[in-house]
Homo-oligomer: A and B are copies of this chain.
Amino acid sequence: MPNLRLALAQTNPIVGDISGNVATILEVVAEAARNGAEMVVFGEMAVTGYPIEDLASRESFILDAEMAVKKFALTINELGLGHIAVVLGHPAMATPEEQTGWAIALNCASVLLGGEVTGRYAKHHLPNYSVFDEYRTFVSGNELLTFEHKGIRFSTVICEDIWQSGGPVSKLGSARTDVALILNGSPFEIDKDDTRRKLVEDLAKRHNCAAAYVNLVGGQDDLVFDGDSIMVDSQARMLVRLKQFKTDLVYVDFESKDDIQVVAEHHLTKPNDNWQVWNALVLGLRDYVRKNNFKSVILGLSGGIDSAVCATLAADALGAENVFGVSMPSKYSSDGSKDDARDLAERRNMNYRVEAIEALVQPFESQLELFGLAAENLQARVRGLILMSLSNKEGHLTLTTGNKTELAVGYSTMYGDTVGGYAPLKDVEKTLVWELAKWRNQYAQSRGEVEPIPISSIEKPPSAELRPDQVDQDSLPPYDVLDAILEAYVNNRKSIDDIVGYGFDSEMVRKVFTLVDHAEWKRRQGAIGPKITGMAFGRDRRLPITNRYKG
């Protein structure tokens, strides 16, 4: 019989659905109890979902969340589970003295035991960079919470607390902590996982304690929480890694802080980066659809790589029967493109239809006397109008198929190919779109399945097909060069001089900067999509539209 059986619970809450999230937490606690656990730890804000943004400034919301926690403590006690310590994240009101104008709440971890809230920790380090605005809406806490359960000393901290120096986390050792419980709402970014692991290992070493790092899982607007919770012992040995991109519940038997056994099978590794990115995109899309009460998606199938990858992601996320592809050929569409669009849909047995645009375009062209760029944009907008009309008529969510590179340089038609509520490839640069397409085909092959993406969609030169013989490279640098310049400018904030110094052509760099800056108004009106890099467009990168800086 172990000293204590601890359950790490990786749940997928829905922001604002307090009663639904608490119901899930109750199911998990009951299951953990059946499996002999005496403690269950959940992620940051598991009660409300995360991030709650300005909901944190609504008093009714914070009070509802606090009340739900108190009621939940009573409920589990009434169910005979009061002996189980439950540690979970939720917001709570700060005292009137602590509150400032917009920041009225604390980001808390509470300990429930015997029907009561027996302890509460408030997050000290409030992230206020990248997609996070916590200094805007939360008051900072200053006290470490340490408590004993079954003779073991636990301390709680929350997410950003372990990413910064100083604060309550520095007292873990002096508080003689056996196990640090770290509640997290940490979104996926390519390669971020190893940073987390290192932070947790360092913490265990520095403070001579075991550490349970429990993350949320699931998509919330533009963020994808990937789970991947971990436990290390006080020797900083990683013991277990929870599933990535799935809910999970894992038990560890605790003898002492350097003698911890994982119950049942477990793993310490995870698949490669392409697998991770693909699954992040699938989960982000699935949860946006599900949590916003859609059942199906509609998108234009051009025969090109972007729409092929989007449709495949959607089929993986929702089932091909919930994907509605529309081919919208014009007089400039090649037979190859039309064939590729049909081929794509047939490979997965998606819903598919053809709506030729010529009869819809022509009346505009002649009434408004459109030619040149205006006529090119017209075609894209007629396609957008078709998709939105079918979305309205049939109830599908419209997907926008543009990628990060296009979004960066504004290579799109506003209210044309940009229409839709969700953009699966928003943070996926063009070169990575190709890589993912190839990877997904190989993955299918390795499982004996039909490759979902037509090879010619991968291999042909990309084209918007808005005029005869057009290819993207008529107006843009080659995509490998373009993506390298964008990486330096957008992700790494380098200057023109810096990038020219790397060996790129000066005129080309200047042109790319101008394109990026002039497209800011388009990005402001763009659909949200899942962040997978360290610098996504949207809340992650906030620049003025009116901006004459060129450097």
Contacts and interface: CB of A to CB of B under 8 A. Distances in A.
A393 B415 contact: no
A493 interface: yes
A55 B544 contact: yes
A288 interface: yes
Nearest to A378: B389
A381 B355 CA distance: 18
* Copy count, this protein chain: 2
B498 A60 contact: yes
Contacts of A129: 100-103, 136
Given A524-B528, A525-B525, A220 B16 contact: no
Contacts of A373: 392
A385 interface: yes
Nearest to A292: B546
A357 to B, nearest CB: 9
A96 interface: no
A133 interface: yes
A119 interface: no
A79 interface: no
A53 B542 contact: yes
A549 B16 contact: yes
A15 B52 contact: no
A544 B16 contact: yes
A51 to B, nearest CB: 7
Contacts of A381: 385, 388-389
Interface in A280-294: 287-288, 291-292
A292 B382 CA distance: 27
Given A52-B544, A525-B527, A367 B378 contact: no
Interface in A504-551: 521, 524-528, 541-551
A378 B360 CA distance: 12
Interface residues of A, number: 83
Interface in A3-34: 14-18, 20
Contact of A549 (B55, B292, B369, B527): B55
Nearest to A365: B389
B377 A544 contact: no
Contacts of A526: 525
A546 B53 CA distance: 11
Interface in A74-109: 100-103
A388 B377 contact: yes
A521 B57 CA distance: 20
Contact of A543 (B54, B359, B368, B377): B54
A14 to B, nearest CB: 6
Contacts of A130: 102
A332 interface: no
Given A58-B495, A60-B495, A129-B136, A368 B388 contact: no
Contact of A547 (B55, B60, B363, B386): B55
Residue from A221, A419, A493, A548 with most neighbouring chain B CB atoms (10 Å) = A548
Given A129-B136, A544-B16, A388 B359 contact: no
Contact of A221 (B15, B369, B544): B544
A229 to B, nearest CB: 22
A18 B384 contact: no
Interface string A367-400: 1111001100110011011101110110000000
A432 interface: no
A321 interface: no
Interface string A26-59: 0000000000000000000000000111110111
Interface string A337-377: 00000000000000000010001100110011110011001
A368 B52 CA distance: 40
A128 interface: yes
A273 interface: no
A497 to B, nearest CB: 7
A300 to B, nearest CB: 14
A414 interface: yes
Given A15-B548, A52-B544, A364 B378 contact: no
Nearest to A366: B359
B60 A497 contact: yes
Given A16-B549, A548-B16, A367 B377 contact: no
Contacts of A550: 16
A135 interface: yes
Given A58-B495, A355-B368, A364-B386, 14 more contacts: A64-B549, A101-B129, A128-B128, A136-B542, A220-B546, A221-B545, A288-B546, A292-B545, A368-B386, A368-B389, A368-B393, A374-B393, A377-B388, A381-B385
15 contacts: A15-B546, A16-B544, A16-B550, A51-B544, A53-B543, A55-B543, A55-B549, A61-B549, A133-B542, A135-B136, A221-B545, A221-B546, A374-B393, A377-B392, A385-B415
7 tightest A-B CB contacts, nearest first: A16-B549, A60-B495, A374-B392, A17-B548, A102-B129, A16-B548, A374-B393
